[in-house]
A and B are shown apart, each in its own frame.
Chain A
Amino acid sequence: MTPLTALLVRDMRIAVRVGGGALMGVLFFLVVVTLTPFAVGPDLVLLKRIGPAILWLAALLASLLALDRLFAGDHEDGSLDLILTGRAPLELVVAVKGVAHWLTTALPLVVAAPLLGLFLNLDAPAQAGLMLTLLIGTPALTFIGLIGAAIAATLRRGGLLLAIIVLPLTVPVLIFGVAAANAAVSGPVPFGTPFTVECALTLASLVIGPFAAAAALRLEME
């Protein structure tokens, strides 16, 4: 096993075991989306209109939930020191940790989204479109979140700071993700335009996130 696959396997194992927080995200997602019809009332037209936005907001908040432990846990138990003595570049280590986090917390959200779409009166093509926007958009949320997770790694209560740092940075992804999802649900805007921008945002964050997070970690180790 290469160092980075070993890291991926280890992070995913930790996430799915007791106290790992992989299920927390999807349960939170479920609760928020389920509560919405109760709060808004049984207005099917309204639910259909705000459905994509609700799903996207819930996914955004859920993907932040376990993020604050991503580096903080490794920092507290000394694992981060040892990771630095490994021969894998820190940027790749950070990226692999991001991938493990996405696979264990964000991917279940994407899978659960069609089921929850039913609660919000979305039909099948709309659900497919929404699921696609989440599938493409959530990696951007995770990789932007990496930056905040790295900055908050050495703080005791880093979760709040993480949310304050990360949420403003996710605004563009949210705007174009919801726009694409809305286009899939109700038209008349073509789906392709906002979706292409969303893809571009994801690609950019996949590159910027690991470098920025690695730089933040290096500074903090001083």
Chain B
Amino acid sequence: MVRYHGAHGPISLEKRPKTVPIPPPGKAPMRLTATELACRRGGRDVFSGVSFTVGSGEALTITGRNGAGKSSLLRLVAGFIRPCSGRLSFEGGDPELSLGEQAHYLGHQDAVKPSLSVAENLQFWAAFLDAELGAGADKVAEALEAFGLGEISALPAAYLSAGQRRRLSIARLVAVKRPIWLLDEPTSTLDATAQDRLSGIMGAHLAEGGLVLAATHAPLGLAGARELRLGELNPRSASAALSAGEEKP
């Protein structure tokens, strides 16, 4: 497979080395390391001194009170905002891509266009986010089916309930393979079945050697997930406490 930048074909004519989005476990393990990250938003210190390491097949849940900076931390890892100090590094990924370009970001908003149909919404994101050209239509159909949206795939997304929109948004994670998942409150508005399904796909992603960072208030049903607690010590400049939890089973 040849990697493409944008729509205008390969940048160079020479053959590029093959890149595999997620190497099988054991081969070229990936590691996301954050060192002493600090974030300032609107003149207020949101958090400082946050350090963590997430490797292939590991999940990190980020917890903390409202306003502790869980979403900011995820947006920072995705590259939407810059840290005011500290460093983020990612080993084992594609060196030509930024961290955000190798990550799925599932934010509070679902990025679903009401005037497009359910299938069109997912098809667009699959084509836009996937570096491989011609992202398979069957992959999209499969992802919709997995989240119980197969029957309503032709329905305009305007008619979806909040939970269905959320499921459509999550189906993106399955339709396009990316090694890092940044999930912000992924279970909000999901029913019990969909929550189970989400735990299932997160488990499968970890088993393939992917990384999951999830900000959450509710347990995600991930065995061996470590926990990063933000804003425990000092509400003004929150430091982080990383609880070891138990390692991978």
Stretch at the interface among B25-33, B110-118, B185-193, B197-205: B110-118
Residue of chain B at shortest CB distance from A82: B111
Q: List 26 A-B contacts (CB under 8 A).
A: A2-B127, A3-B7, A3-B130, A4-B8, A5-B7, A6-B123, A6-B127, A9-B124, A13-B120, A14-B116, A17-B116, A19-B114, A19-B115, A77-B109, A81-B75, A81-B107, A81-B111, A82-B105, A82-B111, A85-B100, A85-B104, A86-B128, A87-B4, A87-B5, A87-B129, A88-B128
Stretch at the interface among B45-53, B76-84, B141-149: B76-84
Other 15 A-B pairs with CB < 8 A, given A84-B79, A86-B129, A92-B7: A1-B134, A3-B6, A5-B127, A6-B127, A14-B113, A14-B116, A19-B115, A77-B110, A77-B112, A79-B113, A81-B80, A82-B105, A85-B103, A88-B5, A96-B7
Find out whether the CB atom of B5 lies under 8 angstroms from the CB atom of A89: yes
Q: Assign chain A's interface to a size class.
A: 20 to 34
- Judge whether A10 is part of the interface by a CB distance below 8 angstroms: yes
**Given contacts A13-B116, A222-B81, A78 and B110 within 8 Å (CB-CB):** yes
Bound Cα distance A84, B130 (Å) = 13
- Judge whether B87 is part of the interface by a CB distance below 8 angstroms: no
Complex interface bits, A169-204 against B, C-beta within 8 A gives 1, otherwise 0: 000000000000000000000000000000000000
Residue of chain B at shortest CB distance from A16: B115
Bound Cα distance A84, B78 (Å) = 9
- Residues of chain A within 8 A (CB-CB) of B207 are none
Bound Cα distance A67, B108 (Å) = 25
CB distance from B234 to the nearest CB of A (A): 25
Find out whether the CB atom of B109 lies under 8 angstroms from the CB atom of A87: no
- Residues of chain A within 8 A (CB-CB) of B134 are 1
Find out whether the CB atom of A3 lies under 8 angstroms from the CB atom of B128: yes
- Residues of chain B within 8 A (CB-CB) of A221 are 80-81
- A residues with a Cβ closer than 8 A to B are 1-7, 9-10, 13-14, 17-20, 76-79, 81-89, 92, 96, 221-222
The one of A10, A19, A222 in contact with B124, judged by C-beta atoms closer than 8 angstroms, is A10
- Judge whether B125 is part of the interface by a CB distance below 8 angstroms: yes
Find out whether the CB atom of A81 lies under 8 angstroms from the CB atom of B78: yes
Find out whether the CB atom of A78 lies under 8 angstroms from the CB atom of B108: yes
- Residues of chain A within 8 A (CB-CB) of B36 are none
- Residues of chain B within 8 A (CB-CB) of A89 are 5-6
- Judge whether B208 is part of the interface by a CB distance below 8 angstroms: no
Find out whether the CB atom of A88 lies under 8 angstroms from the CB atom of B80: no
Residue of chain B at shortest CB distance from A3: B128
